[in-house]
Amino acid sequence: MRRGKKTPKFTFKNTDGVEYEVVFHKPNKGVYGENCDGVCHNPSHDNPKIYINPYLTDQSELNTAIHEFAHAFFWDKPEYQIYAFANSLSRFLYNECNWRKKK
């Protein structure tokens, strides 16, 4: 987990040239709901960000990161398609490829 640690800022550009910053911080439950583990801002926002809950298991963090990055690249896709894509890819990487987070 990243609690209490200063991590370098990670940014990337989607295929439309919109730059996102990834922030490991639990999304605001008052805005996004109690069970929200990730948020991707609309690419039309000034300085859009992706928020990922830093208190997730490795497998859930992988799934959430894939899910939110997919939103950044495919903003127009419906949630059920993003959900299916992220679940399939994270399950493959974690279970079949034995992906594990560096400690």
- DSSP structure class, residue 51: E
**What is the rounded distance in angstroms from the CA atom of residue 67 to the CA atom of residue 78?**
12
> Phi/psi of residue 58, each to 5°?
-55, -45
The H-assigned helical ranges of 1-103 are: 29-32, 58-73, 79-91
pLDDT at residue 8 in the model: 73
C-alpha 100, offset from chain centre: 16
C-alpha 13, offset from chain centre: 14
* DSSP-assigned states of every residue in 1-30: --TT-----EEEE-TT--EEEEEES---HH
**What is the rounded distance in angstroms from the CA atom of residue 65 to the CA atom of residue 63?**
6
Using 70 as the pLDDT threshold, list the residues of the chain that sit under it.
1-7
pLDDT at residue 103 in the model: 78
Q: Which two tokens stand for residue 7?
A: 């991590």
